[in-house]
Amino acid sequence: MHLPLRHSIVSKLLGGAGILAVCYYVLQLQTRDPSAPAPVAMTPPLQTTPTAKPEPTPDTIPKKLWYKLGPNGLSEQLRRYSDSCITMNPTFRHEFMTDSSGDDFVKDKFGASRPDIVDSFLAISVPIIKADLLRYLVLYEYGGVWNDLDVSCEVPITEWIPNRYNGNASVVVGLEFDVDIWVRQFASWTIMAKQKSPHLLTVVEDCLEYLAQKAKEYNVGIHDLKLNMIDDIVDVSGPRRLTRGVLKSLSKKLNEEIGNNEISHVSEPRLIGDLLVLPDFAFANSMNQQYGDKKSGQVLITHHYAGSWKNTNGGEEHVDR
């Protein structure tokens, strides 16, 4: 093929290709949705901050000391007791609750999820029952260490739990009696707990169920229940209620019966599931030496048995100063 002829053919082909390209572009303009946005250069996707997840429940017992003031506030004697614990544990925060702040706490934290608890708690007119229930609810919601005002510390709290059990115990209690002639029970004046332990919630639920039954028995509301209409406070909301409720919940968790035999003759800290039981000398040495088995060992706290609730009203009586 001659060179001029080849150039002519190439030129015609290129020209035809150009015409086709123009036609294709025009057709695209005509068929494209006029409302569609014009093509833009690709950009990297926006980096969004993930939604914050709820804070996990701590694996250890929070470093927080809890107290509850009566209507007379803090006397000099009680201040010395509480100060002994606060001073000895400088890394622990502390809070003194009152009747008013206790009511607000229960309404705020349980109003949406457990209105039945709120209604029953606020209706109770016997102060010691409310005080007992408040400690269980506070420890359930926040965790930490509950001390009654008449408790003084002998050893820093960080030394109460043996290292081998740190992280494993969700509730720590001390025996009040560990002899066969007495009903074995946990002291309720000092309790340690992680947040959200079902053992403590069971204690609350069982106590409120008992009060509802008593109210029905007397054909009154819970508010009208008086101290002389119910059993011994130790059974109703105190140490025996605590003991029964915790062991009931623990039995359910472990799918086996945990009872008196498992908390008998405790000479050193004993871990049962996630419950750590301390010997009677740890939290109740004076009672142990007087009525118990008189075992000797490391005394962690001293309970001074102020007993301000032991009257016909079941609560500290206000004194004008």
Of 77-81, 191-195, 264-268, 294-298, the least confident: 294-298
What are the distances in angstroms from CA 316 to CA 77, 98, 120, 269?
15, 12, 21, 34
Average predicted confidence (pLDDT) for the chain: 86
Cα–Cα dist 129/57, whole Å: 28
Does residue 174 sit in helix, strand or coil? Answer: strand
Q: What are the pLDDT digits (tens) for 32-59? A: 444 444 443 333 333 333 444 445 556 8
Q: Is the pLDDT of residue 6 over 80?
A: no
Report how far residue 235's alpha carbon sits from residue 233's, in angstroms, rounded to the nearest whole number. Answer: 5
What tens digit of pLDDT does each residue of 102-160 get? 999 999 999 999 999 999 999 999 999 999 999 999 999 999 999 999 999 999 999 99
Pair 172, 187: CB distance under 8 Å: no
Confidence at residue 103, expressed as pLDDT on a 0 to 100 scale: 99
Residues forming beta bridges with residue 94, ordered by sequence position: 65
The β-bridge relationship of strands 275-278 and 301-303 is unpaired
The answer to whether 234 and 244 are in contact (CB under 8 A) is no
User: Can you give the pTM of this predicted structure?
Assistant: 0.81
Structure confidence at residue 288 (pLDDT): 77
Domain boundaries, the chain: 64-303
Helices marked H in 255-315: 280-283, 285-291
Given a contact cutoff of 8 angstroms between Cβ atoms, the answer to whether 228 and 169 are in contact is no
Tell me which fold the domain 64-303 belongs to. Spore Coat Polysaccharide Biosynthesis Protein SpsA; Chain A (3.90.550)
Q: Could you report the per-residue pLDDT of 80-93, keeping only the tens digit for each?
A: 999 999 999 999 99
- How many whole angstroms separate alpha carbon 96 and alpha carbon 115? 25
Rounded to whole angstroms, the Cα distance separating 221 from 195 reads 32
Residues 284/190, Cβ–Cβ less than 8 Å: no
CA distance 113 to 247: 24
Per-residue pLDDT, averaged over 252-258, amounts to: 98
Whether residue 5 is predicted with pLDDT greater than 90 in this model: the reply is no
For residue 59, the model assigns a pLDDT of: 80
Confidence of residue 308 (pLDDT cuts 50, 70, 90): low
Cβ atoms within 10 Å, residue 177: 20
User: What pLDDT was estimated at residue 182?
Assistant: 86
Higher-pLDDT residue of 11, 44: 11
Torsional sign, CA 228, 233, 236, 237: positive
* Closest alpha carbon to 246 in 281, 283, 197: 197
> Are 80 and 53 spatial neighbours (Cβ–Cβ below 8 Å)?
no
